Amino acid sequence: MAFTRRQILAGLGALGIAGLGAGGVRYWLGRPENAASHDYELIAAPLDLELVPGHKTPAWGYGGQAPGLELRCRQGERLRVRFINKLDEPTTIHWHGIRLPLEMDGVPYVSQLPVLPGEYFDYDFITPDAGSYWYHPHTASSEQLGRGLVGPLIVEEREPSGFAHERTLCLKSWHVDEQGAFTDFSVPREAAREGTRGRLSSINGVALPTLELPAGQVVRLRLINVDSTITYRLNLPGAEARIYALDGNPVAPRPLGKDYWLGPGMRLDLALRVPAAGTELSLRNGPLRLATLKSVASAQAAGDWPPALPANPVAEPDLAQAETLRFNFEWAAMLASSNQTGPARYWQINGQAWDINDKACADRPIATLKKDGHYIFVLRNMAQYQHPIHLHGMSFKVLDSDRREIVPYFTDTYLLGKNETARIAFVADNPGVWMFHCHVIDHMETGLMAAIAVV
Ligand code: C2O
Ligand code: CU
Ligand code: CU
């Protein structure tokens, strides 16, 4: 395809960029000089973080923070972001979960050319679905996401949702040592297993934060797993919490239950009824505390549970006419031990491993779907490690699984458990070449990715 031209940055003066500050934050989100062409100027740049007290971590951030600045827009409206690359290497932005035209999908050599240092690219698309989404690069992903290039994108409902309060919580663990220095983002031994985990967990870039919430109110917590590896087993002991949306898509509200497994790339919208002032709740990953939720006095009258969120306009697949395709996700032991050149390949889909250095991989899609055709994908995990399987460009409906009870729901990422077989279905209504991959970043980079063409 022909790519939209990248633009060379004319000069920083015109862009409203903050000067080099001593405090670590070197750039922030600029005010657009020309509001006719874009609503946000989002800059990716180096940023020193103090993740470990008394130590500096040389992170990379969007809009002067890591995780990046929260972008917001309304369902059905246009989001226009001038993305400016102030890093020393090429990058892109991919808008995870947004159903948009291929030219805006941010995959280098598939949807656009990489944005080189000093260049900018105007992203401009309509956000058809309300919910909690996020953005990240699709280049050198283990390092770029690992250093902090991840950020939330919130698409508000067309009409007020009934939640008077909300908080966005980006969950990320950092690959840093006790002095705050980065450790390897991807270690071969781990990439061939569950993925390389960071040591220091954080919410919105802070380890073990205390979040204050208004007593008696119902607060929408938008939990976004922006981590490269970890599946969080989320629980809130003693809390009155209900699930309102999964991965951006509304579900009939139901209690949180014991543990919700939130894989990399996935989102969970919870409603929490905040207990009496002075109470502390613990948001946990399994038995480990991630944050303290502290209830503080509120002058407002007590809130009630809002109604279910309105469904997103995702096409309903017709199972009776759908064509079934099978995808096996395998561990490639032989590939892993052979004396190959190029990047390691530990994983494969239907016997094929994606090579992140081969720009032509997308020319060999693993499946070609007919535009507006109905499809069932049978996803089979042949390994003992779980894979959050993600599709770009379209949302799919999870139908069933041989391992767990599924209430069918729409999503863009399904956490395929060890040795699990699950079925998903969707209408192939978005033409293009779409990435289909595991969101454990070092699985993706060592083979677990493919392209799906819709023509
Ligand atoms: Cu979060 Cu290929 O995407
Ligand atoms: Cu995506
Ligand atoms: Cu995986």
Q: What pLDDT, on the 0 to 100 scale, is given for residue 340?
A: 56
CATH architecture of 7-156: Sandwich (2.60)
| Distance (Å, whole) CA 233 – CA 237 | 12
Q: Give the domain 165-296 fold.
A: Immunoglobulin-like (2.60.40)
Q: How many helices (H) and strands (E) does the chain have?
A: 4, 31
Q: Is the CB of 96 under 6 A from ligand 1?
A: yes
At 14 the pLDDT is: 35
Mean pLDDT, to the nearest integer, of 135-145? 97
Q: Give CATH 2.60.40.420 domain extents, the chain.
A: 7-156, 165-296, 323-454
| Integer angstrom CA distances of residue 63 from 37, 160, 317, 337 | 19, 27, 39, 42
Residues within 5 Å of ion ligand 2, judged at the Cβ atom: 96, 392
User: Contact at 8 Å (CB) between 155 and 222?
Assistant: no
Please, which residues have CB within 8 angstroms of residue 35's CB and are 6 or more apart in sequence?
A: none
CA of 136, closest atom in ligand 1: 1
Residue 339 reports pLDDT greater than 70? no
Stretch 242-247: mean pLDDT: 98
Ligand 1 binding pocket includes 450 (Cβ within 6 Å):
no
Asked if residue 383 lies in contact with residue 330, where contact means CB atoms within 8 angstroms, the answer is yes
Give, in order, the Cα–Cα distances in Å from 432 to each of 33, 369, 447.
33, 10, 21
Write down the pLDDT at residue 311.
Answer: 97
Please give the mean pLDDT across all residues of the chain: 91
Residues 289-321 have pLDDT tens digits of: 999 999 999 988 888 999 999 999 999 999 999
Residue 1 confidence (pLDDT): 55
Task: Decide whether any atom of ligand 1 lies within 6 Å of the 263 Cβ.
Answer: no
CATH architecture assigned to 323-454: Sandwich (2.60)
For ligand 1, atom 3, which residue shows the shortest CA distance?
96
Nearest CA to 71 out of 125, 16, 34, 14 is that of 125
Where are the strands (E) in 352-402, listed by range? 367-369, 374-381, 387-391, 396-401
% of the chain exceeding 90 in pLDDT: 83
Query: Is the confidence at residue 355, as pLDDT, over 90?
Result: no
Question: Exposed/middle/buried for 370, CB within 10 Å: 0-12, 13-18, 19+?
Answer: exposed
The percentage of residues in the chain with a pLDDT greater than 70, rounded to a whole number, is: 89
Overall average pLDDT of the 273-299 stretch = 96
Q: Indicate which ligand has the atom closest to the C-alpha of 195.
A: 3
- Cis geometry, peptide bond prior to residue 306 (ω within 30 degrees of 0): no
pLDDT tens column, 373-405: 999 999 999 999 999 999 999 999 999 999 999
Is there an atom of ligand 1 within 6 Å of 390 CB? Answer: yes
Q: What is the pLDDT confidence band of residue 4, given thresholds at 50, 70 and 90?
A: low
**Quick check: CB of 180 below 6 Å from ligand 1?**
no
Cβ atoms of 293 and 276 closer than 8 Å:
no
Q: Atom of ligand 1 at shortest distance to CA of 97?
A: 1
